[in-house]
Amino acid sequence: MKFKLSLITLALVTCSSGAFAFDFGVTSANTQTQASSSAKWACKKCNSDQAVIGQAGIELGAMDSDDDNAANNLKYTDGFAAGVNADVIYNNQGYRTEVVANQLGSEQGYIALKTGELGVWNIKASFDEKQKFGVNNAESVWLAEGNNLVEQDQLVYQSLDLNRKKSAIEAKLTLDMLSSFIRFSNEDKSGNRASSMTNGGITAVNIVAPVDNQTQNMAAGVSLSGQNWLTELSYKGSWFDNDIDSLEMNGAGFPISSQSPDNQSLFVTLAGRYSLGKTHVSGRLTQGSMTQDADFVTLNGVTSGQTNADTEVETLDANFKVTSSVMSGLRLKASVDYSDRDNKTDINEYEQYSYDELSGDFETNSNLDTTRTAYKVSASYHLAKGQRIEAGYDRIEMERSDQDREETDDNIFWAQWRATGFDKWDIRLKGLYSDRGGSEFLYDEMGSSKENTLMRKYYLADKKSSKAEIFVTHAPLESLSLSFRSYYGLDDYTNTDIGLVESKDYGYDLGLSWQALQDLAINLDGGYQWIDSDQASAQTTNIDMWQADTEDQFGFAGVGFHYTGLSDSGINISADYSYSISISDSYSSGYNVLGDYEATTHNVTVQATYAMTAHTVVGLKYQFESYEDSNDTQLPSSYYPGTGPTGLTTLGIQNHDYDPHLILATLQYHF
């Protein structure tokens, strides 16, 4: 494991170990209920005379699945399944130790150990492993061996899986007015991902690219506090190392493809807050640097004598906020956020490749500097008992260098009203309107040669946005609670003739919680969301003009129950079912030329537990998932000319369709 420290870090480590400590001043107590709506709760303010409290258990069973992708949700792959779960606290004469484990042994396991003296110091160590499964039938004749892609005699099936292992350790210390902390984590990521390479012309090959990188993060800080004030000096550092710095297709005549370069970032922050009566002031100042110094993977396209780009960006962030209750029922807030990105990278000449054409001309790189300033003011007022209204205005100013639009400014107006004073009702209404303008674009006309570039500049274009949301909860009966949420958003690119013209986002959510019988609780929920986007080409001639519409839809529904009628015999039963659907359709000039995407999922969980003794609970759990997706844009690795893009070699059709079953026997011991 690599461990890198700067002089600033060493200075802080000398005097630091924990500003924002765990809440060791109280003892947590966990009690277990089997209701799906409240599986467990923790009393964070309670004291217990027990030396050991909490629960620990194991789960053993089997998974039946022909697609490892099911483990992304069910957490186990095909075959034997075993995991450990625990949340155990040991108290001993002012010291506390806690062990937390979540399905340790599965594909998504986690474990953490915390120990320390209550209210004084603590140390925590954790390990988190996540396996993300993709497809296992990506087919290609190119097989990665380190940084090289070696051509095989025939297609080889490969998996697109990623594994992440993250270990972390932190320590915190509190001594009267002084607190300090230090944290360090190391994350290793390995596996394969889908990527592509091109010869610079019309030939492109989709490949299975190897992943092998490490990310290290470190933070340390020391704070000093009084009765109504606090100040803190902290440091953060991040280091990224990629062992796959380039990819080369041996013997194919393709140029070497550069991968994510090694880089690092360092930040030092001074923050503080002060309270004077009903007025609270806080501020933060951060100075940072982000650098990468990786060597070029090839000298092709680089002027003589250059070996790397020597990239460096200096950052400065500042924030100031004040909140004051100026009179009964009225609270005012104001803040200023400032962010500056100053690109210090050396300026040199490089052979440029543009999106639609290959140019052999040498051009200098541009240092893209940005400056962002956000001003925010708001007021909150109690209209009447149980009613509050809040309104605000935000202005965000952006300045950019060497870009198509040097200045943009957003003016945002928002308001919300909440009423809790009505009997059995809780109502919230929110609304927002924003308008983006700015300087003139730095091009003369939208010529066809620039069309693809300009279509990706919608984030710089003038835009008017409107959003509205309503959220209502109602409890007409003591045994019945209803909830409803609906929202609508419109982004209108008012002066845009090319690219994204309009986008709508709207939908609703419903919920019901019903104690149908004394021993039977039922929960229902559901919702649907629509996202519609309209695009247009350059307004040149009728022949060149085209329009494209994208319609995305997402829906979900669920039902669950919890039955306690046999609790006198130590038996509890619960079950949940959920359904989700995702649809994406694209139309160009009225034709569905890009095909559809659709995915559906059914999930079922049934669980029964039996309390053998006051401390021991056994159970049986069954989970089922039915998943299917289809993407009409996917193509075989080889296809007839005219049935797909010219010159493209794909990884084959990679749709999912599986129905896994998971059965687990559980054993829990409650201390």
Range in 456-470, 472-486, 607-621 with the lowest mean pLDDT: 456-470
The string of DSSP codes covering 460-514 is: GS-EEEEEEEEEEEEEEETTEEEEEEEEEEEEE-TT-SSEEEEEEEEEEEEEEEE
Residue 138 clears pLDDT 80, i.e. is over it: yes
Residue 209 structure tokens: 């690219």
Q: Which residue is it, tokens 């009203």? A: 417
Residue 477 clears pLDDT 60, i.e. is over it: yes
Range in 27-31, 204-208, 520-524, 598-602 with the lowest mean pLDDT: 27-31
CA atoms within 13 A on the CB side of 463: 21
Residue 417 clears pLDDT 70, i.e. is over it: yes
Q: Residue 134 has what pLDDT?
A: 93
Q: Residue 152 has what pLDDT?
A: 94
What's the CA gap between 17 and 14, in Å, rounded? Answer: 9
- Average pLDDT value for residue range 121-133: 97
657-658 and 661-670 strand pairing? unpaired
pLDDT digits (tens, 9 = 90+) for 194-238: 999 988 778 899 999 999 999 999 999 999 999 999 999 999 999
- Average pLDDT value for residue range 576-596: 82
What's the CA gap between 309 and 299, in Å, rounded? Answer: 12
Residue 544 clears pLDDT 50, i.e. is over it: yes
What's the CA gap between 367 and 507, in Å, rounded? Answer: 42
Give 541's pLDDT tier (boundaries 50, 70, 90): low
The string of DSSP codes covering 323-375 is: EEEEETTEEEEEEEEEEEEEE-PPP-EEEEE-SS-EEEEEEE-----EEEEEE
CB count within 10 Å of CB 87 equals 19
Q: Which residue is it, tokens 């100026």? A: 326
Residue 408 clears pLDDT 90, i.e. is over it: yes
Query: Which of residues 396 and 254 earns the better pLDDT score?
Result: 396
Kindly report the CA angle at 260 between 257 and 265, in degrees rounded to 5?
A: 155
Are 610 and 35 within 8 A, CB to CB?
no
Give Cβ neighbours of residue 60 (< 8 Å, ≥ 6 apart).
Answer: 81, 82, 664, 665
Closest CA to 258 of 270, 242, 274: 242
Residue 607 clears pLDDT 70, i.e. is over it: yes
Mean pLDDT of the chain: 86
Task: Name the percent of the chain lying above pLDDT 90.
Answer: 67
Query: Which of residues 34 and 449 earns the better pLDDT score?
Result: 449
Query: Which of residues 306 and 352 earns the better pLDDT score?
Result: 306
Closest CA to 166 of 198, 190, 182, 145: 190
Residue 657 to residues 421, 595, 651, 652, Cα–Cα distance (Å): 50, 19, 18, 15
Element (DSSP H or E) covering residue 14: helix 7-14
Element (DSSP H or E) covering residue 444: none
Give 443's pLDDT tier (boundaries 50, 70, 90): low
What's the CA gap between 398 and 406, in Å, rounded? Answer: 8
Give 452's pLDDT tier (boundaries 50, 70, 90): low
Residue 59 structure tokens: 């789960």
CB count within 10 Å of CB 398 equals 20
Query: Which of residues 648 and 38 earns the better pLDDT score?
Result: 648
What's the CA gap between 210 and 246, in Å, rounded? Answer: 10
What's the CA gap between 617 and 608, in Å, rounded? Answer: 10
Residue 360 clears pLDDT 60, i.e. is over it: no
Q: Residue 349 has what pLDDT?
A: 74
Amino acid at the residue 65: S
pTM of structure: 0.85
* 3-state class (DSSP) for residue 54: strand
What's the CA gap between 123 and 173, in Å, rounded? Answer: 9
- Taking every pair of Cα atoms in the chain, the longest distance, rounded to a whole number of angstroms, is 84
Give Cβ neighbours of residue 156 (< 8 Å, ≥ 6 apart).
Answer: 139, 140, 141, 143
Task: Determine whether 19 is exposed, middle or buried from the number of CB atoms within 10 Å of its CB (0-12, 13-18, 19+).
Answer: buried
What's the CA gap between 190 and 210, in Å, rounded? Answer: 8
Give 22's pLDDT tier (boundaries 50, 70, 90): very low
In three-state form (DSSP H/G/I as H, E/B as E, the rest C), the secondary structure along 548-571 is EEEEEEEEEEEEEEEECCCHHHCE
Query: Which of residues 77 and 441 earns the better pLDDT score?
Result: 77
Are 635 and 653 within 8 A, CB to CB?
yes
What's the CA gap between 608 and 194, in Å, rounded? Answer: 42
